Chains A and B, each alone.
Chain A
């Protein structure tokens, strides 16, 4: 997975994306002119402090913004040569259903329907046939996301699962459409250290086996260092610095990036080690 060839267009390219939210009388520039690209099968990281606009960026790209009033939402988003800004609803749905893109959300409890069994929620993402005929596929997906005894889990409700299990259910839902691109928003933040490792391992395996492009959002630089070839450092809705993960982390050009990395590594030395800093 080296640098992309010059001729072929990237899987996803974002140019000058702006998302300004209207909150009461104020306007929050959550994403303020961002350029970004992801190659086929590549994995990138997006890091930045809380509130820097990482989640909003991901949602704006995938057209999954919540019901908030937008003061501005502009810029070019190009996925596999398709212009996502002007895409029709059926075409967008098709991308979400089949081999397009998917997203794992930050808070798995809120993003699972509390009144439906987990299996049914995964089955919906597969779509098409009735639950009975796709039951096997549901279990396969749950197992693929690393859940033990998927047949039992499928019959449970979200509140009957642990945080790590819910996160894996979210992963199964995201994988159901066999996406070419997966956005993972803080996939491990809610988990303890051992679970973090397991979920990361799962993501790495999927990335490798399926040749799936990934964008991992995290404020944990260790996670990004482990999984991502390239990294974007964000602050206040802007990209401060981007490039090869090792380069950025070892010799950051921007003082804020340097500070962020310094803080993170210092914290890391005191906390339980999650993994080596080596790039896979």
Chain B
């Protein structure tokens, strides 16, 4: 049992952050060894590199409109140009930054908010639990996109507002997951042992339980990131994302009216969204395989 490690003296010496980091590292190594996980890692790393070195990769500045409009893909414009003569390849490359930023930012934000709420509700139970879980339920009562649209409608659509709106929409899933983990783990022997040893509540919650709960939580973080990217793309497509930032959804918004005459304006940004989302899901699949020991060595199918 993974919890048993928590009461070993050697492990207890380690700083909690160091321990969490070690857990993340070893898990990452295991993910890379699964089929889906390896494919996911390759996709995510490529996207991260594209985002980091966007100015080097993209031949044009994102908003530079020096080309012929609606030119089909060619050597000069790999993905063609859009209706205002911008190079779509450059737009897609720069759009990677926005999508990854939203994906990562929203997933981390949801992790912090949802994690804290789930942790408190699952550990303390009782009144804390009922109040917090009602709040979670409250936020799950509006469909994700409706909630985001609602926020954007009322407060406007700058990048940061959008990020907050997406976090508000997706954190309940994270909270529920962490809540379930804490309920499961708080009854275990190593937690009882820690209580007997008179360790502080904060210590037990963060140092004893958290390391054992972390793996399924990372799966959820990856899935959250993919949901966030899809929401941002949807908003961009509706023309409601931050007008000052290039994003894949926004390219599709511009492409909407020209799609029938210039397929390339729609195909490439759409494919980019698909690749990013599939990459995150593959990564999550690989992680799931690592986390869930029941699935290991299990044959698929129904035997006679």
- Check A-B contact in the complex, CB < 8 A: yes
Residues of A at the B interface (CB closer than 8 Å) are 21-24, 63, 65, 67-69, 89, 92-93
Residues of B at the A interface (CB closer than 8 Å) are 293, 296-301, 303-304
CB–CB A68/B298 < 8 A: yes
Q: In the complex, A21 Cα to B296 Cα: how many Å?
A: 12
CB–CB B304/A24 < 8 A: no
Which of A21, A23, A69, A92 sits near B304, CB closer than 8 Å? A92
Between-chain CB contacts (< 8 Å), 20 pairs: A21-B297, A22-B297, A23-B296, A23-B297, A24-B296, A24-B297, A63-B304, A65-B303, A67-B298, A67-B299, A67-B300, A67-B303, A68-B297, A68-B298, A69-B297, A69-B298, A69-B299, A89-B304, A92-B304, A93-B304
Residues of B within 8 Å of A69, CB to CB, are 297-299
Q: In the complex, A234 Cα to B304 Cα: how many Å?
A: 28
Q: In the complex, A23 Cα to B298 Cα: how many Å?
A: 9
Task: Give A96's nearest chain B residue, CB to CB.
Answer: B304
Q: In the complex, A68 Cα to B297 Cα: how many Å?
A: 6
Task: Give A26's nearest chain B residue, CB to CB.
Answer: B297
| Least Cβ–Cβ distance between B85 and chain A, in angstroms | 57
Q: In the complex, A23 Cα to B296 Cα: how many Å?
A: 7
Residues of A within 8 Å of B296, CB to CB, are 23-24
Residues of B within 8 Å of A68, CB to CB, are 297-299
Task: Give B302's nearest chain A residue, CB to CB.
Answer: A67
| Least Cβ–Cβ distance between B60 and chain A, in angstroms | 51
Q: Which 6 A-B pairs have the closest CB atoms?
A: A89-B304, A69-B297, A67-B299, A22-B297, A67-B298, A23-B297
Task: Give A64's nearest chain B residue, CB to CB.
Answer: B303
Q: In the complex, A24 Cα to B34 Cα: how many Å?
A: 13
Q: In the complex, A22 Cα to B298 Cα: how many Å?
A: 9
Q: In the complex, A21 Cα to B293 Cα: how many Å?
A: 15
Residues of A within 8 Å of B297, CB to CB, are 21-24, 68-69
Residues of A within 8 Å of B301, CB to CB, are 67
Q: In the complex, A25 Cα to B126 Cα: how many Å?
A: 43
Other than the given A23-B296, A23-B297, A24-B297, 10 more pairs (CB < 8 A) read: A22-B297, A63-B304, A67-B298, A67-B300, A67-B301, A67-B303, A68-B297, A68-B299, A69-B299, A93-B304
Residues of B within 8 Å of A21, CB to CB, are 297
Residues of B within 8 Å of A67, CB to CB, are 298-301, 303
Residues of A within 8 Å of B300, CB to CB, are 67
Task: Give B298's nearest chain A residue, CB to CB.
Answer: A67
Q: In the complex, A68 Cα to B298 Cα: how many Å?
A: 5
Residues of B within 8 Å of A23, CB to CB, are 296-297
| Least Cβ–Cβ distance between A124 and chain B, in angstroms | 16
Q: In the complex, A117 Cα to B300 Cα: how many Å?
A: 28
Residues of A within 8 Å of B298, CB to CB, are 67-69
Task: Give A63's nearest chain B residue, CB to CB.
Answer: B304
Residues of A within 8 Å of B293, CB to CB, are 24
Task: Give A23's nearest chain B residue, CB to CB.
Answer: B297
Q: In the complex, A24 Cα to B299 Cα: how many Å?
A: 12
Greatest chain A CB density within 10 A among B293, B297, B301, B303 is at B297
| Least Cβ–Cβ distance between A131 and chain B, in angstroms | 24
Residues of A within 8 Å of B304, CB to CB, are 63, 89, 92-93
Task: Give B301's nearest chain A residue, CB to CB.
Answer: A67
Q: In the complex, A69 Cα to B300 Cα: how many Å?
A: 9
Task: Give A21's nearest chain B residue, CB to CB.
Answer: B297
Q: In the complex, A82 Cα to B300 Cα: how many Å?
A: 28
Q: In the complex, A93 Cα to B300 Cα: how many Å?
A: 21
Q: In the complex, A22 Cα to B297 Cα: how many Å?
A: 6
Q: In the complex, A147 Cα to B304 Cα: how many Å?
A: 31
Task: Give B293's nearest chain A residue, CB to CB.
Answer: A24
Residues of B within 8 Å of A63, CB to CB, are 304
| Least Cβ–Cβ distance between B173 and chain A, in angstroms | 27
Task: Give A89's nearest chain B residue, CB to CB.
Answer: B304
Residues of B within 8 Å of A24, CB to CB, are 293, 296-297
| Least Cβ–Cβ distance between B72 and chain A, in angstroms | 51
Q: In the complex, A209 Cα to B303 Cα: how many Å?
A: 34
Q: In the complex, A230 Cα to B300 Cα: how many Å?
A: 38
Q: In the complex, A23 Cα to B293 Cα: how many Å?
A: 10
| Least Cβ–Cβ distance between B290 and chain A, in angstroms | 11
Q: In the complex, A224 Cα to B170 Cα: how many Å?
A: 59
Q: In the complex, A184 Cα to B298 Cα: how many Å?
A: 25
| Least Cβ–Cβ distance between A82 and chain B, in angstroms | 15
Q: In the complex, A115 Cα to B302 Cα: how many Å?
A: 20
Greatest chain A CB density within 10 A among B300, B301, B304 is at B304
Greatest chain B CB density within 10 A among A24, A67, A68, A92 is at A67
Task: Give A69's nearest chain B residue, CB to CB.
Answer: B297
Task: Give B303's nearest chain A residue, CB to CB.
Answer: A67
Q: In the complex, A1 Cα to B54 Cα: how many Å?
A: 85
Residues of A within 8 Å of B299, CB to CB, are 67-69
| Least Cβ–Cβ distance between B268 and chain A, in angstroms | 42
Task: Give A92's nearest chain B residue, CB to CB.
Answer: B304
Q: In the complex, A21 Cα to B299 Cα: how many Å?
A: 11
Task: Give B299's nearest chain A residue, CB to CB.
Answer: A67
| Least Cβ–Cβ distance between A62 and chain B, in angstroms | 12
Task: Give B304's nearest chain A residue, CB to CB.
Answer: A89
Task: Give B297's nearest chain A residue, CB to CB.
Answer: A69
| Least Cβ–Cβ distance between B149 and chain A, in angstroms | 40
Q: In the complex, A278 Cα to B245 Cα: how many Å?
A: 88
| Least Cβ–Cβ distance between B123 and chain A, in angstroms | 29
